[in-house]
Amino acid sequence: MKKPDLRGKVPESWACIDCGINTAPSHLNREQMEQAFARDWADKGVENTYTELTEIYEVKRQIWEAAGMEPMNGCLCIGCLEKRLGRTLTAKDFVRNSPLNKMPGTERLLERRNVDLSAVDKLASIARRKRAS
Ligand SMILES: [Zn+2]
């Protein structure tokens, strides 16, 4: 497969541009993703894993702009985005139907998205039990 051009589609780096924390420890950056697709001769696709360490989300354009950001000019962790905004994010700040906003993530991200954490805990304990048996 020809190496795809993912500029502007996948971040150059998942590091928060303010504090440097990796917002997506199990994700490939743009260069790594292009290489992975180039190696994908069987066309199986490239998998990204979302975990409790992932802070990938999509906020509404005006929220991103209020933080002094432009599309695709870097990642911000939730803490740094809130610091820039001077307030805590709420569920209304996130793009409602974005697939990114339906993925697992850090506890603070899920809290801001108004996800029922007790349900998440239940799922986690079911997963743990399955693994144990
Ligand atoms: Zn940060």
Q: Cα 102 from chain centroid?
A: 10
pLDDT tens across 31-78, in order? 999 999 999 988 888 888 899 999 999 999 999 999 999 988 899 999
CA distance 47 to 18: 27
Q: Break the chain down into helix, strand, coil percent, rounded to 5.
A: 40, 5, 55
Cα 34 to ligand 1 centre (Å): 26
Question: Would you say the pTM of this structure is higher than 0.95?
Answer: no
The answer to whether 28 touches 46, Cβ cutoff 8 Å, is: yes
Output the CA 2–ligand 1 centroid distance in Å.
35
CA of 92 from ligand 1 middle (Å) equals: 21
Quote the pLDDT of residue 129: 63
When pLDDT is averaged across residues 93-112 and rounded to a whole number, the result is 94
Confidence of residue 132 (pLDDT cuts 50, 70, 90): low
